[in-house]
C-alpha cells in the first residue's frame, strides 16, 4: 500500500464517519511515519469538530421574520401585479406570427440585395452585350462586298473576345479557389480579338463550348446575311 492509497482510504472512511482504522491501514500507519502523522492530525481535527458541531447557538428569529413577512409579501404581490401582462386576444398570436414572417422576409430581401451588390458592386455594362449589339448592328448593314465581310468577321472576333473576357471575370469573381497566378485576365491588351486562343484555359473550360457555340451561331448568321445580300 502506498501513502496515497492510505490517504484516499482514510478519507473514504471519514466520509462514512468511521473513526477506527482497519488492520491493513493501521499496519501501514505503524510503519510509515508520514501517514501516522497524517492520521494523528485528522484525528485531532475530528476531535475538535466534535466540540464545534455540538455547540448550538441560541437565537430567536421568529418575531423578526414575521415582522418583515407581511411587508415582504405585500411587496411581492405589488411586484407581481406590476409585472402581470394584459391578457392576449386570440388574434394576437397570429399577428405576432405574421409580423415575424414579414420581418424575416424583409431581412432576407435586404441580405440578398446586400449580397448581390457586394458581388457585383463593380460590375460594368457587359462587354459581351456591347459586342453582341455591335455585331447585330453590323449584321443589319447587309454587307455586299468582301471588305464588309472583313468588318463583320472582325466584329465577330471582338464579340468572341468580349464574351471570353466577361466569362473570365465571372469565373474570377465566383471561384475563390483560383490560384493567384490565374487571376490575371488572359485577354487583356490593345486588341483583345488578337489574343483569343484556340482552346480556352482551364478556368474557362466549362464556358468554352458555350462561347464557341454562341459565336459560331453569330458567324453563321453573318454569313447567311452576306449570302442573302450577295
Partner 1 sequence: MSVDVSELELVQGCLAGKVACQRQFVEQFEGMIFGLCLRMLGRRHDAEDVAQEVFLRAFRNLHRWDQERPLRPWLLTIAANRCRTHLEERGRRPTPTDLQADWLPERRRPGGRDDAEEIQQALATLRPDYQQCFVLFYQQELSVQEVAEVLDCPEGTVKTWLHRARKEMAEYLRKRDIDQD
- Among positions 4, 51, 118, 176, the unique one binding partner 1 when judged by CB under 8 A: 51
Burial 10-43 (b: 16+ CB within 10 A, else e): beebeeeeeeebeeebeebbeebeebeebbeebe
The C-alpha cell that represents 166 in the structure block? 466577361
What is the distance of C-alpha 227 from the center of its chain?
58
| Given 13, 32, 42, 178, the residue binding partner 1 (CB under 8 A) | 42
Q: How far is the CB of 50 from partner 1 (least distance, A)?
A: 8
Dihedrals phi, psi of 185, to nearest 5 degrees? -70, 125
Residue 50 or 105: the one with the smaller Cβ distance to partner 1 is: 50
For the range 135-138, what are the long-range contacts, defined as Cβ-Cβ under 8 Å and sequence gap of 24 or more?
Answer: 135/159, 135/218, 135/222, 138/222
User: Which C-beta is closer to partner 1: that of 80 or that of 122?
Assistant: 80
Residue 87 DSSP code: P
Residue 49 interacts with partner 1 (CB under 8 A): yes or no:
yes
Q: Based on the shown chain and the rule CB under 8 A, indicate whether residue 53 belongs to the binding site for partner 1.
A: yes
Nearer to partner 1, 56 or 122 (CB): 56
User: Could you say whether residue 60 binds partner 1 (CB under 8 A)?
Assistant: yes
Residue 120 within binding range of partner 1, rule CB under 8 A: no
Task: Write down the residue that cell numbers 485531532 correspond to.
Answer: 44
- Residue 113 C-beta: closest distance to partner 1, Å: 50
Q: Say how far apart CA 224 and CA 228 lie, in whole Å.
A: 6
The one among 23, 57, 90, 180 contacting partner 1 by CB under 8 A? 57
Kindly list the residues in this chain that would bind partner 1 in the complex (CB under 8 A): 11, 14-15, 38, 41-42, 44-45, 47-53, 55-57, 59-62, 64-66, 68-69, 72-73, 76
Amino acid at each position: 500500500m502506498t501513502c496515497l492509497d492510505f490517504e484516499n482510504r482514510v478519507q473514504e472512511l471519514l466520509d462514512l464517519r468511521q473513526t477506527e482504522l482497519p488492520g491493513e491501514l493501521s499496519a501501514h500507519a505503524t510503519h510509515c511515519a508520514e501517514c501516522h502523522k497524517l492520521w494523528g492530525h485528522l484525528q485531532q481535527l475530528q476531535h475538535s469538530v466534535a466540540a464545534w458541531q455540538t455547540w448550538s447557538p441560541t437565537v430567536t428569529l421568529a418575531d423578526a421574520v414575521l415582522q418583515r413577512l407581511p411587508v415582504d409579501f405585500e411587496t411581492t404581490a405589488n411586484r407581481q401585479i406590476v409585472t402581470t401582462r394584459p391578457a392576449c386576444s386570440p388574434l394576437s398570436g397570429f399577428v405576432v406570427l405574421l409580423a415575424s414572417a414579414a420581418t424575416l422576409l424583409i431581412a432576407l430581401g435586404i441580405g440578398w440585395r446586400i449580397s448581390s451588390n457586394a458581388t457585383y458592386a463593380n460590375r460594368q455594362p457587359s462587354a459581351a452585350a456591347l459586342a453582341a449589339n455591335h455585331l447585330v448592328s453590323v449584321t443589319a448593314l447587309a454587307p455586299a462586298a468582301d471588305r464588309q465581310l472583313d468588318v463583320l468577321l472582325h466584329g465577330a472576333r471582338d464579340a468572341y473576345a468580349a464574351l471570353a473576357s466577361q466569362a473570365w471575370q465571372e469565373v474570377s469573381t465566383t471561384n475563390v479557389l483560383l490560384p493567384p497566378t490565374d487571376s490575371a485576365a488572359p485577354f487583356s491588351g490593345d486588341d483583345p480579338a488578337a489574343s483569343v486562343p484556340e482552346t480556352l484555359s482551364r478556368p474557362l473550360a466549362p464556358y468554352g463550348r458555350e462561347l464557341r457555340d454562341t459565336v459560331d451561331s453569330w458567324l453563321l448568321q453573318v454569313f447567311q446575311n452576306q449570302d442573302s445580300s450577295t
